[in-house]
Amino acid sequence: MVAPTSPTSAPSATGRMAAVQDMARLQRVLFEVEREFVRTATTLIYRVGEPELKYLLCQHVWESAGHARFLRERGRELSGFGTGESVRPELRSLFTEAVMPADGYVALAGFYRVLKPALLAAYRHYLSATHHLADWPSRKLVEEFIADEERHAREMEPCLGTVDATAWIAHLRHALAAHGGLFGDQPRSPLPTGFAWESSGRPYAHPATCNRGKYPTCSSVFSQDPDETPIVRSWLVDPKTDARVIRLMVYVWLMMELDAVDYLATIFIDTPDAPFDLHHDMARHLWDESRHSQFGYRQLPKLGVDLMTLEHSLDLYNILVQMPPHERYAMMTMEFEAGSFPTKALVMDRVRELNDFEADTLLAFDRNDEQNHVRYGHRWLPEIMTLCGDPRPVEEFVKATQARFTEVAKVHGNRTPHALPPERRLTGNKILQLAGVV
């Protein structure tokens, strides 16, 4: 027998299939909550500064996308789950409210002190409400998701408490209680006097630049000047460049895929009506870029690089955030990633000269992932164009977007000065010294 619990917004079913329909409706809410987390928690990524925290958020978003996908697949096997993918307005308003603090760390606390614990409680409720044998396939999924949620809480705990978020946590708890909890099955508490929905008074807006915390910044890590930047474009493709230099420069390049993490993360909330599969594939794309950045972040210190001497480039975020989401996505997939293959192929061949199995492995997986990302671009760019009301043929749109990027870059690019003087920052000539070739 199934325990007689169901959301007040979805009265308990009656008839032969009532037990299945009640649990399917709970699963539907869980699916909607997970996909809303993917849509909104991505706004935290470019607003927090620590690379390790950005990486962790990307992992949690990707795992939540997986939860949502499995819930949808299982739910479609059950009568009462529904065929569409829409999110009920009250849930959407709750998650939209959660992104509103100007301080990204305050918003982070709201997600991980209020919404994620509520989701964990909802999963635990599902286990208490269903039958261990009749609903075995759902239970096994939920048991795994509970383990993930418990791990998410442990992993994020050291990152919380860096700011005073007491007032915002209380605000978000009031909003959740007014909804009757995530399932809407609890008594709805009236909002306190003076409560104001932040999201009703102003739209969410991306910050003009992304947060890189304590790390020094610059406009770009690429140039032709070995006294200016760590990556010297001509050296990457020059057959006379020592392979050890190539390896160091490509690890800097990989670490700076943190650019891609930050600007890709902006697209989710800007496409609220996207099909879930689009957001699922973008969440995978985001997690891939996060892993690529970690390749450099973790390997460079092993090769003698002090990460506090490596400036983080901000140009791509600063430029792309001025452009609409379909243009951001087009530049990422059809220009930056598609255009990187010839140079990266040469780099991979040069690094193989070093018989460095780990470097070869990381670069091979980077290339494999990037090929998938270009496939995502071909699959989803037309869909995002439609969402943004752009009727142009894709090829025409991409060419126009490339030209528009050039124009926007004239205004918003090259505006971040070097945070470090030449004698302190990592440059091409210093990479020569680290590689032991001078």
Asked whether the beta carbons of 127 and 143 are under 8 A apart, the reply is yes
As a whole number of angstroms, the distance between CA 12 and CA 66 comes to 28
Q: Hey, what are 186's tokens?
A: 């609890």
* CA dist., res. 365 & res. 383, Å (int): 27
Length of the chain counted residue by residue: 438
Cα–Cα distance for residue pair 290/259, rounded to 1 Å: 10
**Which CATH superfamily, name and number, covers 18-195?**
Ferritin, core subunit, four-helix bundle (1.20.1260.10)
Please indicate, yes or no, whether the overall pTM of this predicted structure exceeds 0.85: yes
How confident is the prediction along the chain (438 residues), in pLDDT tens digits per residue?
333 344 444 456 667 788 999 999 999 999 999 999 999 999 999 999 999 999 999 999 999 999 999 999 999 999 999 989 999 999 999 999 999 999 999 999 999 999 999 999 999 999 999 999 999 999 999 999 999 999 999 999 999 989 999 999 999 999 999 999 999 888 999 999 999 999 999 999 999 999 999 999 999 999 999 999 999 999 999 999 999 999 999 999 999 999 999 999 999 999 999 999 999 999 999 999 999 999 999 999 999 999 999 999 999 999 999 999 999 999 999 999 999 999 999 999 999 999 999 999 999 999 999 999 999 999 999 999 999 999 999 999 999 999 999 999 999 999 999 999 999 999 999 999 999 998
Residue 335 vs residues 49, 205, 397: alpha-carbon distances, Å: 27, 25, 12
**Which residues lie closer than 8 Å to 424 by C-beta, 6 or more apart?**
309
Where do we find the tokens 């440059």? 427
Among 115, 110, 130, 145, smallest CA distance to 33 is for: 115
